[in-house]
Each structure stands twice: as C-alpha cells, then as structure tokens.
Amino acid sequence: MRLLVDTNLLVYAYDPRDPDKQRVALRTLERGLIDDLLVLPHQAVVEFVAAVTRPQRDLDDRPLLTRTVALREAEDLMSQFPMLYPGEAVLRTALRGALTYQLSWFDAHLWAYAEVHGVDEILSEDCEHGRLYGTVRVRDPFLEAADEVYELPPLYEA
C-alpha cells in the first residue's frame, strides 16, 4: 500500500501550536519513512514552503520556519520520500475530479496525483475521511488526535 501525503501533514510536523496534531504528523512521517509507504506530490512541497514561511498572527507575525530553514526542510523531504510530479495526465484528471467530486482545485489536483500514479490512499484532513474518490481512499490521520475512534491502518497506531 502506498500513501500520498497532503501538505497539512507536513506543516503540522513543524507546528508546535497543536501538540496532538504535531505528534500524529511526526509519527506518521517517521513510520512512513521506515516502512517505505509514503510518497509526496510536488504540490505538497510547494505548499509546505509557502505555509511555513507565512507570518502567523498568533506568533507575533513570525513564520513557523524561516525561509532558509523551510527550503532546507523541503530539500530533505525530497530526498527522503519518493516525489510525484504533475504532467498532462495529472492535470486532466484533476479537471475531471474537480467537476465529478466537486473538490477544490488543490484537492482535485492532490487526488489526481494519487489516481494517475496508482496510490491507494491520501492522508489529509481536507477531504471526507474514509471516502473513496475514484480508486483512491482518503484517511484523516488527525482524527485520533481529536479522540475520534476509527479503525485505521497500523501506520496510525499510537
């Protein structure tokens, strides 16, 4: 089984403001790296750099990471996990997904990466947990942080 990582998982790994989500994100990334389960879409790395370098009001307008650190972390992510890149098939599939499933453009694009590249599941809190979109299921790894009870794959065990 291969799992596609959404941006929110990457960002929470560096965000101390929600310790439960940070713990789940770090554990998921660690287990995914050890078990060679995770793949990253190009989109998630681009969005990660933008999100962690954006000023945060509740941090006195400081970002989660400086630009230098964020770029270094992005490069580390690219060397640790297999990367998926967009092509015409991904873009055309994203267009169909946005129409068929009424997904936002970014969520449709994320789904298209998985659909085109034969990835079984997307790890994201942005889509409906457990829902099947085409041949790809969405799992929200943060539900256990909110004390929700779901049967999740062993990757999420505490």
Could you state, in order of their start, the residue ranges of all structural domains in the chain? Answer: 3-151
pLDDT at 144: 62
pLDDT tens digit string along 8-64?
999 999 999 999 999 999 999 999 999 999 999 999 999 999 999 999 999 889 999
pLDDT at 128: 87
The answer to whether residues 112 and 94 touch, using CB atoms and an 8 Å cutoff, is yes
User: Which segments within 6-155 are labelled E, that is strand?
Assistant: 38-41, 83-84, 121-123, 132-133, 136-139
Which one-letter amino acid corresponds to residue 39?
A: V
pLDDT tens digit string along 121-157?
999 998 889 999 999 999 999 986 665 444 445 554 4
pLDDT at 143: 86
Alpha carbon distance 152, 158 (integer Å):
11
pLDDT tens digit string along 86-119?
999 999 999 999 999 999 999 999 999 999 999 9
- What are the φ/ψ torsions at residue 86 (nearest 5 degrees)? -75, 155
Look up the pTM and report it.
0.87
The answer to whether residues 78 and 44 touch, using CB atoms and an 8 Å cutoff, is no
Which residue carries 């554990």 as its tokens?
27
Is the C-alpha dihedral spanning 98, 40, 49, 18 positive or negative?
A: positive
**Record: fold of 3-151:** Rossmann fold (3.40.50)
